Amino acid sequence: MEPIVVVGGGVIGLCVAHALHRRGCAVTVVDAGPARAAASHGNAGWIVPSLSGPVPAPGLARVSARWMLRPDSPLYVRPRANPGFLRWLVAFWRRCNARDHLAGLEATAALNRRTMSLFDALRADGVAFEEHRDGLAFVYHSRHELARDHAALAPLRPFGYDAPLLDAQAMRELEPALTRAVVGGYRFPQERHVRPDSLVTGLEARLRRGGVDLRTGVAVTGIEHRDGRVSALATTAGRVAAEAVVVCAGAWTPAVMRLAGVRVPIEAGKGYGLDYAPPPALPDPIRAPLYLHEARVAVTPLAGLVRLAGTMELAGLNGRIAPRRAAAIAAAGAASVRGWPTDPSRATVWVGFRPMTPDGLPVIGLAPGFGNLAVAGGHAMLGVTLAPATGEAIAALLTTGRAPDVILPFDPGRFGGHRRAR
Ligand SMILES: Cc1cc2nc3c(=O)[nH]c(=O)nc-3n(C[C@H](O)[C@H](O)[C@H](O)COP(=O)(O)OP(=O)(O)OC[C@H]3O[C@@H](n4cnc5c(N)ncnc54)[C@H](O)[C@@H]3O)c2cc1C
């Protein structure tokens, strides 16, 4: 029997490989990298089912049109006369409505139901990684936006997420580092965070110990298939025969799927991470992760460092670092955290590509027209959070031949990407 081949060794590919390996499957992982801009390495590391709402949201089309003119805004769309990108953009804007947002939130929160227990199971299985259980506080400068967002938390209640609205004083009791500009917020105590690169290396080490074949520096360049079945991959290191293939190539997923004639609309949403190691000396050190709402910036305290992460730049797969965007993230830190340096020169700056679909939902399941070619990608801002649940779902699909109900809303066929006849 040939192995199941996982294309992509980011957090999604590794969790898929782990779940398949645990079910007794022979697994090979091939990764073109390590790619510095692979999102799995320098992200904010939050495990946050409370953020299950998809990126396209009511009102975002209007705000993002305004933000398009400001290169230091939280969401920046670089205008490009590429028909595929324009189609993606129109589909994204169409999804910025209450009905689609609610349906996406419910589907994603359902997939997230087992997230915390699946992370516990990873650790119990010998995957070593840095993890913290400090909750997540949402921080606001605008009373109006706080009231609106707090009211909009209602659909999360059935999933165990409810939080009282906290005024400025309560927020500062919770997190003394906050500035006077903060007017209030709310907090979910059950959220966790990890150091994302430790999760990747922990998974790699566990898979290697279990005898999984992990090949790095090997790029997939072709997919051999006939009558809806894949038999092998062409790679830069030769042919790799496969019982089945799972493509988990993050923002590169469209390029890999195109090799099988399947269209998967995923755009790269470039994000920045600013690492301050050691953390700046502050009057009050930051205790726990903060989501700075207005700037859409994540503040993550880790062992020996504080990471600020944010901004979304839809500008294709280009890893250029714009100093203006790094400065905007540092300034957001300074506006909410007392004593935070506005000058980003002390930080090590990283950029990574979030894999973004136009409906904001991941793509998990069999490729249209194929019986043994699966996709697990497009996890946008939630790839770390959703990785273990995605791995479980793909492993169940490939070992039972039946897609678990929880992934039906994420069917790769929803974009109508048909297999080209061969
Ligand atoms: C700034 C920022 C902050 C974030 N914060 C969070 C957070 O707090 N919580 C959260 O849950 N998510 C967060 N995310 C999102 C999360 O990082 C991503 O959703 C997730 O890492 C995607 O993982 P992936 O495995 O799909 O893709 P990637 O990590 O991009 O991995 C894809 C892999 O595919 C490989 N590949 C590409 N082409 C080929 C090929 N032809 N052949 C072989 N291999 C190939 C690449 O080398 C790469 O290693 C954040 C993202 C960013 C950018």
42 CA → ligand 1 middle, Å = 9
Q: How confident is the model at residue 420 (pLDDT cuts 50, 70, 90)?
A: very low
The pLDDT score that the predictor gives to residue 417 is: 62
**Sheet arrangement for strand 131-132:** 46-47, 192-194, 131-132
The pLDDT score that the predictor gives to residue 421 is: 35
Q: Is beta strand 244-247 parallel, antiparallel or unpaired with respect to 4-7?
A: parallel
Helix%, strand%, coil% for the chain, nearest 5: 35, 25, 40
Tell me the best of 384, 386, 394, 410 to mutate to test the pocket of ligand 1, counting ligand atoms within 8 Å of each CB and taking the most.
Answer: 384
Residue nearest to atom 47 of ligand 1 (CA): 33
| Average pLDDT over every residue of 360-380 | 98
Q: Which atom of ligand 1 is nearest to the CA of 35?
A: 47
The reply to whether ligand 1 has any atom less than 6 angstroms from the CB of 10 is: yes
The pLDDT score that the predictor gives to residue 74 is: 82
The pLDDT score that the predictor gives to residue 422 is: 36
Spatial neighbors of 148 by CB under 8 A, at least 6 apart, are: none
Residue nearest to atom 22 of ligand 1 (CA): 383
302, two tokens? 């880790």
The pLDDT score that the predictor gives to residue 418 is: 56
What single letter denotes the amino acid at residue 163?
A
- Residues of the chain above pLDDT 90, percent: 91
The reply to whether ligand 1 has any atom less than 6 angstroms from the CB of 397 is: no
**pLDDT tens profile 403-415:** 999 999 999 999 9
Q: How confident is the model at residue 156 (pLDDT cuts 50, 70, 90)?
A: very high
- DSSP state, 337? B
Mean pLDDT in the chain? 95
Does residue 109 register a pLDDT over 50?
A: yes
The pLDDT score that the predictor gives to residue 64 is: 77
| Average pLDDT over every residue of 122-132 | 98
Does residue 231 register a pLDDT over 60?
A: yes
The reply to whether ligand 1 has any atom less than 6 angstroms from the CB of 312 is: no
The reply to whether ligand 1 has any atom less than 6 angstroms from the CB of 166 is: no
The reply to whether ligand 1 has any atom less than 6 angstroms from the CB of 14 is: no
Spatial neighbors of 178 by CB under 8 A, at least 6 apart, are: 139, 171, 172, 290, 336, 337, 338
| Average pLDDT over every residue of 17-40 | 93
Backbone phi and psi for residue 270, each to the nearest 5 degrees, phi listed first: -65, 130
**pLDDT tens profile 33-73:** 977 779 999 999 999 999 999 999 998 888 877 777 777 78
Q: Tell me the CATH class for 4-42+197-265+359-415.
A: alpha beta
- What is the C-alpha to C-alpha distance for residues 193 and 174, in angstroms, rounded to an integer? 18
| Average pLDDT over every residue of 6-22 | 98
Q: Which atom of ligand 1 is nearest to the CA of 12?
A: 25
- Residues of the chain above pLDDT 70, percent: 99
Would you kindly state where each structural domain of the chain is located, as residue ranges?
A: 4-42+197-265+359-415, 48-96+131-192+268-356
Does residue 368 register a pLDDT over 60?
A: yes
342 CA → ligand 1 middle, Å = 28
- What is the C-alpha to C-alpha distance for residues 300 and 223, in angstroms, rounded to an integer? 40
- What is the C-alpha to C-alpha distance for residues 136 and 153, in angstroms, rounded to an integer? 14
| Average pLDDT over every residue of 297-308 | 98
Domains 4-42+197-265+359-415 and 48-96+131-192+268-356 share a fold: no
CA distance to 218, 311, 348, 388, per residue, from 341 (Å)? 41, 18, 14, 36
Residue 381's closest CA among 291, 315, 286, 294?
Answer: 291
Tell me the best of 31, 50, 267 to mutate to test the pocket of ligand 1, counting ligand atoms within 8 Å of each CB and taking the most.
Answer: 31
Contact 347, 274 (CB under 8 A): yes
CA distance to 205, 258, 388, per residue, from 412 (Å)? 30, 13, 19
The pLDDT score that the predictor gives to residue 75 is: 84
**pLDDT tens profile 175-222:** 999 999 999 999 999 999 999 999 999 999 999 999 999 999 999 999
Contact 248, 7 (CB under 8 A): yes
The reply to whether ligand 1 has any atom less than 6 angstroms from the CB of 43 is: yes
The reply to whether ligand 1 has any atom less than 6 angstroms from the CB of 385 is: yes
- Residue environment code for 230-260, b if the CB has 16+ CB neighbours within 10 A, otherwise e: bebbebeeeebebbbbbbbbbbbbbebbebb
How far from the centroid of its chain's Cα atoms is residue 226's Cα?
33
328, two tokens? 């905007």
100, two tokens? 């689609």
Q: Domain 48-96+131-192+268-356 falls in which CATH fold? A: D-Amino Acid Oxidase; Chain A, domain 2 (3.30.9)
The reply to whether ligand 1 has any atom less than 6 angstroms from the CB of 271 is: yes
How many alpha carbons fall within 13 Å on the CB side of residue 170? 13
192 CA → ligand 1 middle, Å = 19
Of 253 and 416, more confident: 253
Placement of tokens 């305290």 in the chain: 301
- DSSP state, 395? H
Residue 328's closest CA among 343, 307, 306?
Answer: 343
The reply to whether ligand 1 has any atom less than 6 angstroms from the CB of 391 is: no
196 CA → ligand 1 middle, Å = 10
**Global pTM exceeds 0.85:** yes
In the chain, the largest separation of any two C-alpha atoms, in whole Å, equals: 66
